[in-house]
């Protein structure tokens, strides 16, 4: 097909529009050369250009957790326009190869950790569109 044939065939097509991030509804249909029109087809979509947002509320940097006296309460929130998966883990500063997997609202007795010393909490999240984010606390102490 030549460029003119393509242009004449799709003369009624609209130009692309700028669409804001978030949920949208649209419908579409097609017509053939003799103006037969198919039924409109509705479609719901989510335009997601952003990585998940992570907010860690506990534990906080500078806190100290003493075995048998207090527990490490892990609390965080992840928000995104669509579905996401999140993983949390405590990392020992002295033994960074040691990662203790934690979930949202986990309560940990310090004696349950292999090492005492300083730790950080890292939360990693990936949304359905493949956007990734990570958040890490300042160090806190486990004795």
pTM for the complete prediction?
0.76
Task: Give the span between the Cα atoms of 54 and 71, in whole angstroms.
Answer: 22
Give me the pLDDT at residue 20, please: 87
Give me the pLDDT at residue 4, please: 75
List, for residues 32-84, the tens digit of each pLDDT value. 989 899 999 999 988 889 999 999 999 999 999 999 999 999 999 999 998 99
Task: Give the span between the Cα atoms of 29 and 72, in whole angstroms.
Answer: 56
List, for residues 17-46, the tens digit of each pLDDT value. 788 888 889 888 888 989 899 999 999 988
User: Residue written as tokens 């700028």?
Assistant: 18
Cis before 59? omega within 30: yes
């Amino acid at each position: 097909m030549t460029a003119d044939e393509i242009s004449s065939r799709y003369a009624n097509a609209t130009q692309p529009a700028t669409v804001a991030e978030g949920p949208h509804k649209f419908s579409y249909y097609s017509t053939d050369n003799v103006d037969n029109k198919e039924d409109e087809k509705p479609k719901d979509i989510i335009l997601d250009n952003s990585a998940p947002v992570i907010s860690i509320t506990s534990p906080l940097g500078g806190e100290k957790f003493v075995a048998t006296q207090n527990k490490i309460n892990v609390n965080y929130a992840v928000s995104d326009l669509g579905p996401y998966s999140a993983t949390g883990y405590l990392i020992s500063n002295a033994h960074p190869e040691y990662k203790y997997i934690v979930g949202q609202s986990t309560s940990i007795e310090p004696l349950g950790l292999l090492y005492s010393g300083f730790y950080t909490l890292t939360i990693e999240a990936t949304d359905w569109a493949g956007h990734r984010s990570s958040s890490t606390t300042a160090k806190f102490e486990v004795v």
